[in-house]
Structure 1
Amino acid sequence: MFTSNTVKLALLKQRAYNLRWATLPDGVIPLTAADSDFPCAEPIQEAVARYAKDGYFSYGPPEGLPELREALAVHYQEIKRVTYLPQYILPVDSAAFGIFLTCQSFLSPGDEAIIFDPVDFLFRYSVEAVGAIAVPFAIPPGTEKVDFSQLEQLVTPQTKMICLCNPLNPTGKVFTPTELLELVAVAEKHNLLILSDEIWSDIVFKPFAYTSVASLNEEARRRTITITGFSKSYGLAGLRIGAILVSNAAHFQKIYHTSLHQSTIHGSNVLGQIAATTALQECRSWLAEFMLHLQVMRDLCVTKLNEIEGFSCIAPQGCYVAFINITGTGMTSADLQKLLLEKAKVAVVPGLAQWFGEGAEGYIRLSFATSAEILEEALFRINKNLL
């Protein structure tokens, strides 16, 4: 299922936007946005086609399709070991919107929220978009153990939230139960909410294991707002589907009211909800095969990158991105990204503050969710053009 024959380059060049095939000149290999080059699982394709064939695209319930809410509750109980009632689960327009909506619901102008550094830019954007202040907590790539007790030094009377990205994009760090318990202790001591972005939680490489922060104890579950999505695990980015899961009526009502779903100004794509439901109910074996492929691609990527002079890459524990220290080249992240694009015809994401925060300078990020043939060619071009 995950060979070069299943990568439809002609379609990707028509449809894969967001810094990928459709936005770059012919001949450039995009290892940019964390989006798979493979088509989604056949059961998802078939479910969407069946729904579309009937010809009715009516409004769905503003709280989301009951079958998706139930499927998410079952999934979190069986896989993540967290109990969420379906009525406290809100399907939303992507995990990215879930992050923004949570910030919009629980932060006010002048409030502070602690975010990681480096981390995906969506956290800073969402916090600042509602007039709050993003306070960075440094987690250097390759950190063996994060001492979350040090995070307490950043807490002020204005702090309202800790934003957890686990696994951590872009470094691939997967947090241990011990680390997460320290984070929960700080949140409990200062009565802070935990925004837990878990969109990458299915993409974890052996021997590492994922722990959902809300699974640790009842206190953690009570103060955690969990956000998930289906773009990373199941290739559904264009269907714009994610979900917010909470443990109590007060949190749900606050988020639901802020969402404007009840007004039809916003709402979750019905086709996306059909696809997500099918993914959860019928595609675990497909995901297991995808993970076997990704593990091979990760190992290939890390081995080849560490053979390049001036590069140093620690194997990510989760996420299908590699975060490469390029300080040995003597180049900045922006200059190296430009060189690779122009000479090697390979597009990567530079470690600029606008993408990942100040802690990303001296790094580049590349995605390896593609075929071995495409990845090997890209890595060959990178090596050849840095000699």
Structure 2
Amino acid sequence: MLRQRAYNLRWATVPEDVIPLTAADPDFPCAPEIAEAITSFVSGRYLCYGPPQGLPDFKKTVANFFTGKRNVPAKPEYTMPVDSAAFGIYLTCKAFLNAGDEAIIFDPVDFLFRYSVEAVGATAIPFAIPPGTGQIDIEAFERLISPRTRLICLCNPLNPTGKVFSADELMLIGELACRYNLMILSDEIWSDIIFEPAAYTSIASLGDEIRNRTILVTGYSKSYGLAGLRIGTVAAFTQQVFDRVYDASLHYSTIHGANVLGQIAVVAALTRCDYWLKGFVTHLQRMRDITVKQLNNIPGISCIAPDGCYVAFANIKGTGKTSTEMQQLLFNDARVAIVPGLKQWFGDGAEGYIRLCFATSEPILTEALSRITDTLTR
């Protein structure tokens, strides 16, 4: 079924003898309760337009999640579904950036941040956070702020390195935002995927002043396998900020909007599937440990265990190969597909690295790692 349905660099797009450890999407079916909720809704056979600001049950459920699970006092009226977290990132940039403005992004980080900033005519200013970085250098961060800076783009946990920001680091970033009157885009799509003993803190939980200048973006594809439903959330914390996001969304027209079935699925996920998510994260922590141990046994490769996200960002500089050369070697000889550390995917700081997704079964993962090991040690 994955070979029929899993696109975006995955099973449906590679030859049958290739194992894809590429896009960060799980190889597992969603929780049965989610499928049951969708089936029940569809059985009514009315598939009408939903409210432009979201189904009331969705808004209430997501706000309760932020309040109860993230210590963020969210309100349903300021919480809105969007057609993916990716669109939520773009939408926030559209709402708060103009041509000539600047936004600080991390490096390496998912390409969607640079893409979204540049798509609205602004300039992305990278702040280097190499894999294994401890507390960030807040003074170096502050030096990047200019009179044109309008937005700080926070990705926590950080894809692709798996860094989980401490409460102290987030407070320092939040204080800079307050001091320089900047908005904060907080992408929290990975916030459920945290490995012990790391702990997650939302920057929106750190007091009213920081929270009121934060736009919280999240999605449900990483945690619950719902990428194809195209559903995410944007949450604001003041009427003024929410109105700005809503106006930029075009939801008030029929040009854009959020999938109603996706909203139904999210309500089921957040109210009925805690057991499923807990089991998934337990499995992922075991897969992380297997991946990191195996990669570190290969001469020329080193990999720091991520504290969050289900991707391993491996340093291959000791092999003498570029990221592209390693990608091609593993695809052609090992028949394993990975993501190379190229600027187009993660920024300049990613060269000399490769990213592997380990959200799969143990037999598939061990086979892929065995193939990689055999290719690089023979």
Q: In structure 2, how many angstroms separate the alpha carbons of the residues matched to 1:40 and 1:309?
A: 37
Q: In structure 2, how many angstroms separate the alpha carbons of the residues matched to 1:307 and 1:180?
A: 34
Is residue 45 of structure 2 the alignment partner of residue 85 of structure 1? Answer: no
Query: Which of 296, 301, 306 is the matching residue for 2:296?
Result: 306
What letter corresponds to residue 17 of structure 1 in structure 2? Y
Is residue 360 of structure 2 the alignment partner of residue 370 of structure 1? Answer: yes
Offset of residue 147 of structure 1: 2.0
Is residue 9 of structure 2 the alignment partner of residue 24 of structure 1? Answer: no
1:273 is aligned to: 263
1:4 is aligned to: none
SS of the aligned residue for 1:34 comes to: coil
RMSD of Structure 2 on Structure 1 (CA) = 0.6
Offset of residue 149 of structure 1: 3.1
TM-superposition CA deviations, 1:343-382 (whole Å, max 9, x none): 0000000000000000000000000000000000000000
2:4 is aligned to: 14
Instruction: Detail structure 1 runs of 4+ shifted over 3 Å in the superposition.
Output: none
Offset of residue 50 of structure 1: 0.8
Query: Which of 66, 75, 96 is the matching residue for 1:106?
Result: 96
TM-superposition CA deviations, 1:176-213 (whole Å, max 9, x none): 01111110111111000000000000000000000000
Is residue 227 of structure 2 the alignment partner of residue 237 of structure 1? Answer: yes
1:296 is aligned to: 286
Judge conservation of contact 1:149–1:186 (CA < 8 Å) in 2. Answer: no
Q: In structure 2, how many angstroms separate the alpha carbons of the residues matched to 1:110 and 1:22?
A: 40
SS of the aligned residue for 1:261 comes to: coil
SS of the aligned residue for 2:151 comes to: strand
Is residue 308 of structure 2 the alignment partner of residue 321 of structure 1? Answer: no
Q: In structure 2, how many angstroms separate the alpha carbons of the residues matched to 1:111 and 1:291?
A: 39
TM-superposition CA deviations, 1:227-286 (whole Å, max 9, x none): 000000000000000000010111111111111111110000000000011101111111
Q: In structure 1, how many angstroms separate the alpha carbons of the residues matched to 2:335 and 2:36?
A: 36
**Percent of aligned positions with the same letter in both sequences?**
62
TM-superposition CA deviations, 1:52-109 (whole Å, max 9, x none): 1221111001100110110111101111000011000010000000000000011000
SS of the aligned residue for 1:323 comes to: strand
Judge conservation of contact 1:115–1:163 (CA < 8 Å) in 2. Answer: yes
Q: In structure 2, how many angstroms separate the alpha carbons of the residues matched to 1:69 and 1:302?
A: 39
Q: 1:183-198 alignment to 2 at 5 Å?
A: 183-198=173-188
1:285 is aligned to: 275
Offset of residue 217 of structure 1: 1.2
Is residue 211 of structure 2 the alignment partner of residue 221 of structure 1? Answer: yes
TM-superposition CA deviations, 1:95-140 (whole Å, max 9, x none): 0000000000110000000000000000000000000000000001
Is residue 339 of structure 2 the alignment partner of residue 349 of structure 1? Answer: yes
What letter corresponds to residue 294 of structure 2 in structure 1? K
Query: Which of 236, 252, 260 is the matching residue for 1:262?
Result: 252
Offset of residue 219 of structure 1: 1.1
What letter corresponds to residue 92 of structure 2 in structure 1? T
1:120 is aligned to: 110
Q: In structure 1, how many angstroms separate the alpha carbons of the residues matched to 2:135 and 2:75?
A: 33
Q: In structure 2, how many angstroms separate the alpha carbons of the residues matched to 1:293 and 1:41?
A: 15
Q: In structure 2, how many angstroms separate the alpha carbons of the residues matched to 1:320 and 1:100?
A: 23
Query: Which of 101, 116, 135 is the matching residue for 2:125?
Result: 135
Matched residues, number: 377
| Structure 2, unaligned runs of 5 or more | none
SS of the aligned residue for 1:385 comes to: helix
| Structure 1, unaligned runs of 5 or more | 1-10
Query: Which of 148, 154, 158 is the matching residue for 2:144?
Result: 154
